[in-house]
Structures are given as structure tokens and as C-alpha cells.
Amino acid sequence: MTYYVSKSAMMRMESLIKELAASIEAPRDITDKALDIAIRCIEKGLTRGRSYRCVALAALYAASRILGRPFPLKRISTIAGVPLKDLRSCYNSILETFERELREIRPPDPRSYIGYIAKRLGLGNEVVSEALRILDEIRAKIPIEGKDPTGYATAAIYIASERFGHRLSKNKLSIETGLTEVTIRARIKEVAERLGIKVENI
């Protein structure tokens, strides 16, 4: 069934998409793709029983996954003030409803999170390049399939930053990734041990 999308509903969703995109620093191509997905969500009735804000954020996350630059789900949930459980439920509904159209979505790759996290932390290209190299080592030595990719991306950034003399606090990493400090420490420790890397202040 397809529902009529009124002009007011379209304008409301567009306004929300732009507001949320600005808050999570989404680039223009992701924002445009998200708006297209969100309008189609209204047409398919996915806003019934859900807040427009939740649908808009889920559409932004779906767009970021499609375009290969996914946002950390927990982080954008916190920034936007949308409960993580609701966001996941809405995103899964989008996947189920547009299964054929969204076939291009693949399981998230830890490498795709590096740029976003590094930008939020104000880190330079040399740290990004080193973090990507470390991630290649991680994937070669640690079975990461089925595990949260954000944790491994965060560990790689932490280790790479230390090599360039940047000290990142676990609290700052937690704020920018949405992971707990306990999870971050555990992932850094795992990577350091498996790769034989000496890391200070784990």
C-alpha cells in the first residue's frame, strides 16, 4: 500500500533531515539520499506509530551505509536524542520494506568508520593512513566478522594517534563513538595483544 505524501509532511521531513544532518555532520550526498529514503518511508506508512525524527535519523543512517561512509549508530542516537532501540527498529523496518532497492547495503567495514571518527577528533591524514594500515593488520589476524566494527576502528585510531604523539582520552573516544570506555579499553587491549603492539595507558 502506498500513502499520499502531503506537502506539509514532505516539508516537515526535509526540515528534520537537514537539522539532523547538520548535527551529525552528514555531507550533502548522504543528506540528499536520506531525504529520498525518508519520503519513501512516508509513502510506505513507516511513519505510522513512529516519530518523524526517528524515521529521519534511520534514513540518514541507511544513506550513510549505502554510500559506504556509515555513522556510528550509538553516536548518532545520542546526538539526535533518539533511543537506540527505536532507531535500530526503524532502520530494520526500512531494510525489510525496501529490501530489493537497498541490496547495495553491505555489512559495515571498520575502515569506513575511520574518516568520520578521525574528523570528529580533529586528527590529520597521517593518523588516518596509519589507522587504516593497522586495520589491515587487524583483519589479517583477528576474526572480526559479526563484531561491532566501530570498536576496531576506534582501537586502530587510538594506536595510530599514540604513534604520532597524540594522546586521546578514553572519555573523548567514548563521546565521539558512542562506545563505553570499558568497551574501548577491551578492544584496544585485544588488538595490542594480538598484533604484538605495546600501547601505553590502556
Indicate if 122 and 83 belong to the same structural domain: no
Indicate if 117 and 157 belong to the same structural domain: yes
Q: Is residue 13 part of a domain?
A: yes
Give yes or no for a contact between 59 and 91, defined as CB atoms under 8 angstroms apart: no
Residue range 166-183: mean pLDDT, rounded = 90
Full-model pTM: 0.72
Residue range 171-179: mean pLDDT, rounded = 90
Spatial CA neighbour of 172 closest among 89, 82, 75, 94: 75
Indicate if 48 and 130 belong to the same structural domain: no
In which band, very low, low, confident or very high, does the pLDDT at 99 lie, cut at 50, 70 and 90? Answer: confident
Indicate if 184 and 121 belong to the same structural domain: yes
Query: Could you report the per-residue pLDDT of 63-94, keeping only the tens digit for each?
Result: 998 888 889 889 899 999 999 999 999 999 99
**In this structure, what C-alpha cell is assigned to residue 188?**
584496544
Distance CA 18, CA 96 (A): 25
User: Domain total for the chain?
Assistant: 2
Give yes or no for a contact between 21 and 30, defined as CB atoms under 8 angstroms apart: yes
Q: Which of 69, 97, 125 is the last residue of a domain?
A: 97
Domain membership of residue 58 as a residue range:
7-97
Indicate if 128 and 160 belong to the same structural domain: yes
What CATH number corresponds to the domain at position 160? Answer: 1.10.472.10
